[in-house]
Structure formats: C-alpha cells, structure tokens
Amino acid sequence: MTPDPIDAPGTPPAAGQDLTAGGAVFARLARLGVEVVFVNSGTDFPPVIEGLAEADAHGAELPRTVVVAHEHAAVSMAHGYYFATGRAQAVMLHTNVGLSNGATGAINAATDRVPMLLMSGRTPTVEEGRFGARTVPIGWGQEMRDQPALVREACKWDYELRFPEQVPQLLDRAYAIAASTPRGPVYLALPREVLCEPCPSAELDRAPAMAAARVVAPRSLLATAADLLAGARRPLVIAQRGAGDQEGFDALARLADRWSIPVCQYWAVATAISAHHPMYVGQDPEPWISEADVVLVIDSLAPWSPDIHRLREDCRVIHLGPDPLEARFPVRNFRSDLSVTSEVGPGLVGLEQGLHDSSRAESATGRTEWRALVERHVADRRIRLDGLAATDPAQPMTKEWVAHTVGRALRGRAATVVSELGCPLDPLELTEHGSWRQEPHSGGLGWGLPCAMGIKLADPDRLVVATVGDGSYMFANPVACHQVAEANGIAVLVIVLNNAGYGAVRSSVLGLYPTGYAAKFDDMPLTGLAPSPDFAQVAAASRAHAETVADGRDLAGALERALRAVTVDRRQALLDVRIVD
C-alpha cells in the first residue's frame, strides 16, 4: 500500500505540489538525466526515503536507486557506470562516516577524471525544537567542523545545502561543473533539517540551467602539435587514459600507421590502440623513449618514470589532454614543450587533420628505419605471446598465462575487461576501444569488481569481466558486491587471480631491497594472505556460478562454463584461479 504522503506521520504538510527537499534532490537528478543513484543510507535519510516515496506518489519522474552496502563499492559502481555511458553519475551516502568510506572511491574518480555528484547527509545542526533535529547520540557523534574536507582534495567543487529551494540550482551547478573539462567529482553535503523542508516543485521541472564547459583545442594549436610530430625523425606516442572516444581511437590508429609513429601504453588504465596494430609496441617505453625526438603524451598522469627512463636532451614533448599539466598534483615535473588542453577524442581527430595539412608531413625523413625497428619489435612480441600459447598448462599458472587463456576465450566477443592486479593487458590481446580498464593511478584498491558491475549495470548485453587479485577482491567488500549483483541481475564474470598474498607489495620490496633481509623470507612479512579463503563459497553465498581452478588444464573448461553462466543463464559467476607470483 502506498501511504498518503501528506498524512504520513512526521511529514510536514507541503504547500501545493511542493516536495520534501530529500525527494526533490532525486526529482532534479532525473531532470538532469541521471538514470541511477548509487545509495547507502543511514539515519540521516528519513527525509530522503520519505521524500522519495512522496515524490513517487506525486508522479515525479525519478532515477533508479541501487542500494550498495558499502560506500567504496557504491562510488566504484558509479565509476563503471560512467565508463559505459560517458555521463556524470550520482552517489548518495550517509553523513561523514559513509562519506569517509567512499573517499577512496572519490580519489579514484578524480584520478580517472570521472564526473560524479557525490552527496552525503550532514548530521542535524540543531539539538531540538526544529523538525529533523538530532534524535539519537550519533547526531552528536557524527558532527564535523568541515565535513566536505573529507573529499575536498578529490573534488572540483563542494558546498553544503543551506535552503531547500536551492536544490535545483545547486544540483544544476554541481552537475555541470563535474561534467566540465577536466571532468571529476563534486560534493554536496545535505543537512537533515534542510532536507525535511519543502522545495517548490515548479523549479524542479524546468530545463537544466547550466551547460557543462567542454574544451576542444583550437585547430591552430593542434596544427602546431601536428607540425612538431610531422617534422620528427623518431616520434613516439605514450597513452595512459586511452584515446577518449571511438573517433579518437580510430584517428590514433590511422595516424600512427600513416606516419609510422609507435604507440606505447605505459601503465595504461584504458586502451588507446589495438593490440594488433602494426605500430603498437607494448607497455614498456624502452627503447623508444630514449631514442625519440618528439613524444606526444596523450592524457597521461605519469607517462614514464623519470627515475628509470631518460629523454634525449633535444627531445620535445607535447602533452594533449583535458588537463595536460595535471594541476591537481603538486609534484609532477614532466617536460611539456607544448601543452594542449583538449578533450582527447576530438583532439586526436583534429591532430590527424593537422598532420594531413602539415607541409612537413611528407618530407619527414628517417621514418623508414624507425618503422622497421617497430616492425621487428612487434614481431618479437608476437613470438613471446605465441610462447605463452605453447606453455604447458600443467605448469603452475601465472598471471600472463591466465591472461592469454582469458584473451583467447574472449576473442570475437564485445567485452570489457576490468583489471585490478588481475590479468595484465598485453597477453589479453584486446583490440577495441573500451575493452580494457585498469585501476586508476591512485590505486585505491577494491575498485575493480564494483567498477565492472557498474559497467554491466549500464550495458547489460556487454560481456564484462573483472579480473582482480585476491587482495583486491577482499578490498572490494565482496559480500556486499555479490549481494548487489544478485539483487540487480548484474551478471558479471569475476576472475580472482589468487596468489594468497600481496604480490605487488612483495615485488616493491624486492625492487628496493633485492638482496635485503626481507628478500630472504619464503613468506615475506606483511605480504601474506594465507590461508586463502574459499572465494567460490563467498560468491556461492549469493548463488553465483562459482568454481575454484587450481590446475591450468582445467582453466579453459571452467572459463567456458563461467561464460555460459553470465551470457546464457545471466547469472554472476566467479572463478578462483590459484596462481603463483
């Protein structure tokens, strides 16, 4: 039975069609085009829950709400939903404690330039005498002097709602700022007393008042960049956050081939080029970076490691991206002779045009030799990858070998692989734009599984695979994730690459102290997660198709069954694959 919103106990009577501000927020989000709000509620939510029910009873158009029982997973699902749709997302959390659980997700979103409107309640300001005032001790315990500070460094804008009639204006502004170049999260605190007040509904229906600002570099600047590249003898492209969009991906493929420019995906978090492209040289910047005379860096936070890689003295560097100097980061001193602020996709399309128009493009010399070097390198890579295919499956499984086997199982399917310390990129041999997502360079683990779920929720017909380390899987709050997946029919395939520990931390110790005391341990301190839980049972608790694979000879069959579960039965599936470091 739907309660009469006007007579519901505790609800202040609304004037006319006014909506309780807690519900008005959702009505306005729908008007802004938000399809889903990822929510984890709390005792600050009565005006939100009541307001939603009231708005629904009034026939207001509302976004779908997805309840996610951990905030890191909620924010990471929004991250994935953005990947699939390209539209800014909305997340609503519980006061300071929910927000702090979501703060790692906000840091990840900022690093990946994911636009999202983060909201969380604010404990009531007043102790009595006003509707919505504090009623339980947490009203005092969750008080903060500066709650937005919890996520301010990750946000482009933050504010606290002061009056109910501000709801449409502030949401319009927050949403437009999040979606503006460079994109990123914004935060709005929602005090409980304000959410309890009525918001004039006429304002909620009007068209969004503010357009996002989208920056595309002017042709003249792209022409300068094109001239630099065209005049190079040994040009190089390094891309980390992908090629922007399908048009950018296609433009990069054409220009790299046409002008013989090798493309390196050093520590890539998204695919910029097909694994089978003749100029794709893999993830290692060497030997290209030490030979290059012009480097085009496409939207990369850390395009090489200054402690390892050295540019030539005369090398010129172009950075192209939404924020080519990455102003959020205090220390980031990569040389930039030409800084081109642009959304990446249209920037690459314009750059290709600039190359066509450049008077220097045809006169470039020395490229034949450069191209021949690339071709030899590509042929060597092919031999290494074919070597993986020839590896005896009875050997203990490695990440590379599992990735190669997964890649083969996915061939010919439109799939997105989300990897968080899971399958490495190159042995998967992915060829499409949007086929690869890796944890953001902020590395706030626990992102991979819910991000994959967000992609799948937005695009249910796409095959989405989360490959994650055992540590990363546990960081993801897997019980909460599997619950959300079952509740919302999110048929994602999870492949846990389980080495019973923190392999990346072990490698990091060995990198700094290769012959140190810690290196002598079989079981290095602070890096072990043995005994490993039975992850198949964790997933099976939410009725997933789940298997443990301890022998490489069983992997292909297990993959086939798991793929059938997600594509035909439309059930979530998990493979716990036991690997060595």
Ligand X SMILES: Cc1ncc(C[n+]2csc(CCOP(=O)(O)OP(=O)(O)O)c2C)c(N)n1
CB 103 within 8 A of CB 480: no
CA distances in angstroms from 456 to 241, 424, 461, 493, 571, listed in the order given: 20, 21, 8, 10, 12
Residue from 469, 482, 538, 546 that binds ligand X (CB under 6 A)? 469
Which residues have C-beta within 8 Å of that of residue 192, sequence separation ≥ 6? 44, 46, 47, 121, 122, 123, 124, 132
Q: Which range in 112-120, 300-308, 458-466, 497-505 contacts ligand X by CB under 6 A?
A: 497-505
Output 40 or 477, the one with its CB closest to ligand X. Answer: 477
Where in 14-53 is the site for ligand X (CB under 6 A)?
none
Residue from 197, 470, 547, 576 that binds ligand X (CB under 6 A)? 470
Amino acid 26 reads F
Binding mask of the shown chain, residues 465 to 494, with x at each position contacting Mg ion by CB under 5 A: ----xxx-----------------------
Where in 505-534 is the site for ligand X (CB under 6 A)?
505
For residue 494, give the H/E element and its range: strand 493-498
Min dist CB 451 to ligand X, Å, is 14
Output 84 or 496, the one with its CB closest to ligand X. Answer: 496
472 binds, among Mg ion, ligand X, none (CB under 5 to 8 A by kind): ligand X
Binding mask of the shown chain, residues 79 to 118, with x at each position contacting ligand X by CB under 6 A: -------------------------x--------------
Output 111 or 472, the one with its CB closest to ligand X. Answer: 472
Residue showing the smallest CB distance to Mg ion in the complex: 469
Where in 394-423 is the site for ligand X (CB under 6 A)?
421
Output 432 or 581, the one with its CB closest to ligand X. Answer: 581
What is the size of the binding site for ligand X (CB under 6 A)?
Answer: 16
Q: Is 293 left (phi over 0), alpha (psi -120 to 50) or beta?
A: alpha
Percent of the chain that is helix, strand, coil (3-state, to 5): 40, 15, 45
For residue 280, give the H/E element and its range: strand 280-282
Of the candidates 19, 47, 22, the one whose C-alpha atom is nearest the C-alpha of residue 131 is: 47
Where in 142-161 is the site for ligand X (CB under 6 A)?
none
Output 142 or 499, the one with its CB closest to Mg ion. Answer: 499
Output 139 or 444, the one with its CB closest to ligand X. Answer: 444
504 binds, among ligand X, Mg ion, none (CB under 5 to 8 A by kind): ligand X
Where in 437-466 is the site for ligand X (CB under 6 A)?
443-445
What's the DSSP call for residue 13?
P
User: How far is 245 from 272, CA to CA, in rounded Å?
Assistant: 9
CA distances in angstroms from 348 to 296, 298, 344, listed in the order given: 11, 9, 6
Min dist CB 15 to Mg ion, Å, is 58
What's the DSSP call for residue 501?
B
Output 175 or 475, the one with its CB closest to ligand X. Answer: 475
User: Would you count residue 504 as binding ligand X (CB under 6 A)?
Assistant: yes
User: Would you count residue 535 as binding ligand X (CB under 6 A)?
Assistant: no
Min dist CB 579 to Mg ion, Å, is 8
Output 338 or 504, the one with its CB closest to ligand X. Answer: 504
CB 366 within 8 A of CB 234: yes
User: How far is 472 from 470, CA to CA, in rounded Å?
Assistant: 5
Q: Is 10 left (phi over 0), alpha (psi -120 to 50) or beta?
A: left
User: How far is 392 from 553, CA to CA, in rounded Å?
Assistant: 9
CB 207 within 8 A of CB 30: no
Output 89 or 104, the one with its CB closest to ligand X. Answer: 104
Interface residues toward Mg ion, by CB under 5 A = 469-471, 499, 503
Interface residues toward ligand X, by CB under 6 A = 104, 421, 443-445, 469-472, 475, 499, 501-505
